[in-house]
Chain A
Amino acid sequence: MNILKSLLASAVVAAGLGTSASAEIKLGLDSANYEPFYSRGADGEWTGWEIEIGNALCAAMEEDCTWVPIAWDGIIPALTAKKIDAIVGSMSITEERQKTISFSDKYYNTPAALIAAKTSDITSVADLAGKNIGVQVSTTHENYVNANFADGSNVKIYQDFNEHNFDLVAGRVDAVVADSLALSPFLQSSDGSAFEVKMNFKDDAIFGIGVGAGIRKEDTDLLAKFNAAIAKIRADGTYDAISAKYFDFDIYGG
């Protein structure tokens, strides 16, 4: 009887410990590479600015975190189904998404860019008439392109960020609209060297206020922790130290 009691007691203690030093936080990100924010090397390890920021946030929260790659079109369902606890994968904060999930304060904000061949005659929005524009499906960039260029131009939508770059190189599209930072490694690559940024777009109504961590609506404690952690790494210089390794300007966006 005593043995049973002590077993029961230790089980209760173990269960108690389980909640206080809560289980590790699962951070979800797109399973496809999104440089320079996150990419998976040949060794299977994730690296990039967002990985370092995510790890710094976890350190500030004093939590253990693991990264869970998930196909982008299923990442919000994965969050609501509790397969992950937070989306730290360059997800823009939008009203539409806020109907389903909550977001932390922004941790970065970059402008959208239109890139085209250096030799292209596209220099202004008016030049886009009759041109093929490539954009990734269900992104804020697709919303912007549909709202602004759908009438005069031929919009081609892609399931994956890298696919519209392939087709830009192949010449199947004349221009691509995507995040300026995400495009920069492509522009530096040998394939992308013939292309350049022609225009930047800013539209708070469509692009939103920036990128935040996506969190389940009911997880208000975790949301508060993320916000505190973002404020902390912004204040103590961790954020700037990590960013300086990747970018030569203010990625936080003012």
Chain B
Amino acid sequence: MVWDWLPTYAARFVEGFWITVQLFSLSLTFGFLLAIPIGLVQVTGPKWLGLIARGYCTLFRGTPLLIQLWLLYYGLGSIFPHFPALRESVIWPILIAAFPYAVVAFSLSVAAYEGHVMAGAFRSVPKNELEAGRAFGMGRFTLLWRIWLPRALQNVLPTLAGEAVLTLKSVPLASTITVFGVYGVGSIVRQDTYLIYEPLLFIAFIYLCLTGILVSLFGWLERRVPSESMK
């Protein structure tokens, strides 16, 4: 085992670590915020909106994330030359950065997986609890915020935790569009030093730590939410 490269690349690993953490947490947040309406319309209707939401989930769950990422980054990029005015526009600095594309692609993917989970979760909340809420005079949004969403989340937190872990482990894909997170830096080490195992083991170790932290966070959340058995 050769580890003498570690000090040389330490600063780049720290930078990559933050990129990984930022990409993951932003995607998870945006993705989840999207997942709530995507799940909800599949239960409440209107029917055409529910169908679109289901179609979205099927499309994004059914195609590789790598292809979605490339279609978004290189696909959109290939259209830019046809609109020279874009280069003068205020959004150009965002369009030429790679990180926003990664966040969008990962958020859309998270929204599809968690949207599907949330649809089932909303459906599983007993009707009579919602009726009780309405009988108390709750409006639609109060009902959603106070009863429907918390009760739905309570049922699926472990599933969401699993989806989040899978998303975290997809983050290395972003290195293919120049977003060099922990994995990207590790592959630079691999190509610079021709070492195979050490950089890979190091990347694996960091992901293991991140997954551990994530699982404990979800565990803490689950303990805060009262479950059926604790009633």
Contact = CB atoms under 8 A, between A and B. Distances in A.
Contacts of B188: 137-138, 157
B178 interface: yes
Given A137-B188, A166-B74, A171 B178 contact: no
Contacts of A158: 178
A137 B81 CA distance: 25
Q: Contact residue range for chain B?
A: 20 to 34
B176 interface: yes
A115 to B, nearest CB: 15
B77 A172 contact: yes
Nearest to A166: B74
Interface string B48-86: 000000000000000000000000001001101100001
Interface string A149-165: 00000001111000100
A171 B180 contact: no
B194 interface: yes
A58 to B, nearest CB: 26
- Classify chain A's interface size: 20 to 34
A76 B194 contact: yes
B178 A156 contact: yes
A77 interface: yes
B80 A159 contact: no
Given A157-B178, A157-B180, A163 B74 contact: yes
A157 to B, nearest CB: 7
Interface string B188-214: 101110101000000000000000000
B196 A77 contact: yes
Contact of A171 (B74, B80, B187, B190): B80
Lowest 5 A-B CB distances belong to which pairs? A170-B77, A138-B191, A172-B96, A170-B80, A73-B191
Interface of B: 74, 77-78, 80-81, 86-87, 95-96, 98, 175-176, 178, 180, 187-188, 190-192, 194, 196
8 contacts: A156-B178, A157-B178, A157-B188, A159-B178, A163-B178, A170-B96, A172-B77, A172-B98
